[in-house]
């Protein structure tokens, strides 16, 4: 199993569904940014998605 597939499995296990969904395209489009910037963007999107779901449930 490749490192990439291991990462996808870890994202599934951690229930980071939005990050997992965005990752393939994100990696293609953001190869020029730092790891920290990339993680920040992906995790910010995950948080926005979760907050939106919480708002819908209220």
Model confidence over 15-29: pLDDT tens digits? 999 999 999 999 999
> Which residue segment(s) compose the domain that 10 sits in?
3-57
> What's the pTM?
0.85
Domain count, the chain: 1
| pLDDT score of 6 | 97
Residue 51 exposed, middle or buried by CB count within 10 Å (0-12, 13-18, 19+): exposed
Instruction: State the pLDDT at residue 58.
Output: 86
Which of 37, 16, 17 has its CA nearest to residue 27? 37
Enumerate residue ranges in the chain where pLDDT < 50: none
């Amino acid at each position: 199993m490749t490192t990439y597939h291991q990462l996808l499995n870890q994202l599934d296990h951690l229930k980071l569904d939005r990050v997992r969904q965005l990752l393939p395209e994100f990696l293609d489009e953001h190869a020029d940014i730092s790891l920290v910037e990339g993680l920040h963007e992906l995790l910010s999107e995950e948080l926005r998605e979760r907050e939106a779901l919480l708002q819908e449930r209220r």
